[in-house]
Chains A and B, each alone.
Chain A
Amino acid sequence: MAAGLQLVFGVQRILNLACGSFYALGAYAGVSAVQWALRLGLPRPLFLLALLAAGVALAALGPLIERLLRTIYDRDESFQLLLTFALVLMLEDVIRFVWGTAPQQLGNVYLAYGQLRVGALTVPTYNLVVIACAAGIALGMGYLLTRTRFGRIVVATAENREMAAAMGIDMSGVYARVFTLGVALGTVGGALVIPATAAMNEMGIEVIVEAFAVVVIGGLGSMRGAFVGALVVGVLKAVAIATWPEGEMLVIYVIVIAVLVLRPAGLFARATA
C-alpha cells in the first residue's frame, strides 16, 4: 500500500489520503470474495486467487476517482490533499453501508497452506506467502518502471512533467493508469493481509498514519523507499513489542521524527522535493 502512495505521489504529486481507505476496501472486499468463492466450491488452497481477484477488481475504481481528481490537477497541491480527505470520509460510510459495522474475517482459511517451523517459532506459511507476494510486487514494480515503455514514461513524467508533455506523451492517459495502479496496490495490499487478521471499522483512517510513517522514512517519491520504509517500521515495531511493550504506540512517531531530524529527505529520497 505504501508503494501505491509513493507511486501516485511521485508521478502526480498527489498525496492520497484515501489510500488507507482503498486498503480497507480491498480488505473488506477480499473477505467477501473469498467467502463467496468458497461457498461456490473453490478449493481452499486457491483462496489466494479470490483475494487477488478482489483486489485487482477494485482497482476499477481507480479511473473513476482519477477522473474526479483530474478536475483539480492544476490547483495547489493542498486541494488535492483535501479532495482525498473528502474521499476518506465518503469511503468510510460506503464501507459501513455495504458491510456493516461488525468486524469481518476469514476464519482459518489461511492455514490451508500449513505452518512452518522457523527456529523456535511456528509461522503460518501464509505469512511467508504474503512476504513473497510483496517482494514479487516490489520486483514487478521495479521491472515495470525501469524496463517497460510504460514504466519509463511514468518515471519521465515524474522527473519532469512539462518535458514529458512536450515530448507528446499522453498525460491524462498516464495519470489515469498510474492512479489506477496506485489504487490497485492499495486494494491488493488490503486483500492480501486480511486472511491473517480482520477487517474492522475505521481501519482506513488508522492505517494512514503508519503509511505516512513508512513513506516519510523511506523518502517521498521513492519506490525502494516504500519497501525499505515498510521494513524498517515493521521491524522496529516488532523489536519494541519484544523489548519495551509499553512504548509500542510511540515507537513509530519517534522513528519518523528521528529520520526527519537526521536525514530530512528520508532514506531514499529523490532530489526533487
Chain B
Amino acid sequence: MPITRRRFLKGSAAAAAAGATTRLHHIPAFAQSGPLRIGVLAAKAGVLAPVGESGLRGVQYATDRINAGGGIAGRKVELIVEEESSPKDTVERFRKLALSDKVDVVTGAISTGVGLALGPAAEEMKTIWLAWDATTQKGVEESMPKPKYSFRSTDNECEAVMASILTARHWKGAFRTVAGINPDYSYGRDNWAAFLAIMKKHGIDVQVVSELWPKLGATDFTSHVAALAQAKPDLIFSCFWAGDTPIFLKQAHAAGLTRGTKLVLTTGGGVHEALKKDFTPEGAILGYNCFYFENPKASALAKEFTRWHQDKYKEWPNYESDHGYFTLAAYKAAVERAAKAAGGKWPSTDQIIAALEGVEAESLSGPRRYREDHIMEATFYQGLTTHKNRHDFVTIDPVEAMTTKQIQKPSGVGLYDWINSWKA
C-alpha cells in the first residue's frame, strides 16, 4: 500500500502501545525548537524496490515509537522521504535534503553505486549519513578512508563469511565439487571470492566445476540450471538476494537439482516468503542477514515489530527493516547522550558524531553498535532450512547467530588478510 511520501509526522502512533522505553532526562525547552527533520533515501523502483520499502518501514516504525515516547530529547521526529535511484539522482536528492530541507541527518541507501557516491556527498554537505546497506570493500577502503559524516552498515561479505563457516562446520568432508551462481556485480563477486578463500582456509579442498554470472535481477535460469545439471556439483553457492532467488530455486527444483545437492544461500532470507516449500528443500544453509522473523530468542521488541509488520502489510519482515530501525535508534541514543554531555544545549553535529562512534542501541534483532571507524556491528542469523512450520515457505531450525566480531573484518585490516589470520 502506498506509503505517504513526503512529510510524515505522527503525533501518537498506533504502534506506540507496548511502551517505548525512552528515559528522558532532558529539559523540555528542546521541544520548542521544532521537530527534528530526518531525511530518508528509500529505493522505490527496480530490483531494489522491495528492499527499499522494507528499510523505510523499519524507519517508520522507529519513528512511531520514538515520537510516542516523546521524541528524541523532547523533539518530535519528522521524516522527509526521497527516492534512491541512480547515483547521480540520489546525490541530488541528498543535496536537496541537506540544503533545501535542512535535515539534521539522512538515513538510507542500499545500492553499491549510490553508497559510493553518497560518501563524499555527505562529507561535502557536512550532513550525517547513516546507511542501510551498500558496504563494499571498495566503498570502505578506497573512497572514504576516514569518514567523518558517513556511517556505514555491516560489510557486504559478512553473510558469505558466516555461510562459509557454517558450511565448513556442517559439511566438511561431505562435498568436493562446488558451483557458484551469483549476480554479476561487486556483491556477487566479493561473496563468491570470500567463500572460496574460507574453504581454502578451513582446509577443504574444493574443485570449482561451474561459475555462473547471471545479470542481477535476471528472471530466467533455464540455461543456467542446465549448465549446473551437467556440471553435477556437490554444492551450489549463491548470494542471490532478490526476486531471482525463488525463480532460480523453482527452476532448479524442476530440473531435479535441489535433490541431493547441498545448497548455500547466503542472503536468500531477504525474500524468505517467496521460498516456498514446494521447491525449496530442507537442509540448505539459508541466511537472513541481521533479522530472522521467527527467532525463538527474539526480544519483545522484535516480536512486537514482527506482529505489527504482519498485521499492517500482510508480510513477514526482513532484514532491511532492521537496518532502517537501527539507524534511527542509534541516532536517538547518540543525540541524547550528546545532549546530556552538552549540558543544557542542543548538541552540535560534531558532538553527535562523537556520540555516534561507539554508540550502542537496541535494534529489532538485538543490540547493535557503530564502531569507531563508522562501521556497524550486529548479529547475523543463518541456519538449515526446514519444512516443519506453519507457513507455506521454509524457515530455519536451529537458528545460528554470529556477531560481526566473528564474521566482519576489524578496522584497518583487509578482508583476505583477516581470513588468512584465522586460527583454523
Is chain B in direct contact with chain A in the complex (CB below 8 A)? yes
Please give me the residue from chain B that is nearest to A245 by CB atom: B212
| Structural contact, B276 and A107, CB atoms closer than 8 A | yes
Give the shortest distance, in Å, between B232 (CB) and chain A (any CB).
10
Please tell me if B242 contacts chain A, counting CB pairs below 8 Å: yes
Across the interface, B230 reaches (CB within 8 A) one of A120, A202, A249, namely A120
Which residues in A have their C-beta under 8 angstroms from that of B224?
241
User: Are B219 and A122 within 8 A (Cβ)?
Assistant: no
Measured in the bound complex, the distance between the Cα atoms of B273 and A107 in whole Å is 11
CA gap between A102 and B222 in the complex, in Å: 22
Q: A105 to B50, Cβ gap below 8 A?
A: no
Taking A120-B230, A124-B254 as contacts, is the C-beta distance between A198 and B213 under 8 angstroms? no
Cross-chain contact B45 with A108 (CB below 8 angstroms): no
Q: Is A156 an interface residue (CB 8 A)?
A: no
Q: Check: A196 CB closer than 8 A to any chain B CB.
A: yes
Q: What residues of A have a CB within 8 angstroms of the CB of B271 in the complex?
A: 103
**Stretch in B170-178, B243-251, B400-408 with 4+ CB within 8 Å of A:** B243-251
- Give the total of B residues in contact with A, Cβ under 8 Å: 44
A241 CA / B184 CA spacing, docked (Å): 13
Contact residues of B between 182 and 234, Cβ < 8 Å to A: 184, 210-215, 217, 219-220, 222-224, 226-227, 229-230
**CB contact under 8 A between A238 and B255, given known A107-B278, A198-B243, A200-B47:** no
B44 close to A101 (CB less than 8 A): yes
A181-232: which residues lie under 8 A (CB-CB) from chain B? Answer: 193, 196-198, 200-203, 206
Digit string of B36-75 for contact with A (CB within 8 Å is 1, else 0)? 0000000011110110110000000000000000000000
Q: Is the beta-carbon distance between A105 and B250 smaller than 8 angstroms?
A: yes
How far, in Å, is B317 (CB) from chain A's closest CB? 12
B residues 395-421 touching A (CB-CB < 8 Å): none
Other-chain contact of B49, A105, A123, A201 (Cβ < 8 Å): A201
Sample 18 A-B pairs with CB under 8 A, ordered by A number: A96-B45, A102-B50, A102-B53, A107-B276, A108-B250, A115-B254, A115-B256, A120-B229, A122-B254, A122-B255, A197-B220, A200-B243, A237-B223, A238-B222, A241-B212, A241-B224, A248-B214, A249-B184
- Chain B residues, CB < 8 A from A124: 254-255
Given contacts A107-B278, A201-B46, list 14 more A-B pairs with CB under 8 A. Answer: A96-B44, A97-B2, A103-B242, A103-B243, A103-B271, A105-B247, A105-B274, A107-B279, A111-B254, A121-B255, A198-B219, A206-B217, A242-B223, A242-B227
Q: Which of B50, B210, B255 contacts A101 (CB 8 A)?
A: B50
CB closest residue in chain B, given A201: B49
Contact between B219 and A200, CB atoms less than 8 A apart: yes
Cα A121 to Cα B211 in complex, Å, equals 19
Q: Which residues of A contact B278 (CB under 8 A)?
A: 107-108, 111
Q: Report the nearest A residue to B49, measured CB to CB.
A: A101
B227 and A202 contact, CB distance less than 8 A: no
A83→B379 CA distance, assembly (Å): 50
**Chain B residues with CB under 8 A of A111:** 254, 278
Give Cα distance in the complex from A242 to B211, angstroms: 10
Chain B residues with CB below 8 A from A238, complex form: 222-223, 226
Interface residue A127 (Cβ < 8 Å from any Cβ of B): yes
Q: Are B255 and A105 in contact (CB under 8 A)?
A: no
Q: CB distance A108 to B215 under 8 Å? A: no
Residues 287-320 of chain B, each 1 if its beta carbon lies under 8 Å from chain A, else 0: 0000000000000000000000000000100000
Option from B47, B215, B246 in Cβ contact (under 8 Å) with A105: B246
* Shortest Cβ distance from A234 into B: residue: B223
The answer to whether the Cβ of A246 comes within 8 Å of any Cβ in the partner chain is yes
Query: Smallest CB-CB separation from A123: which chain B residue?
Result: B255
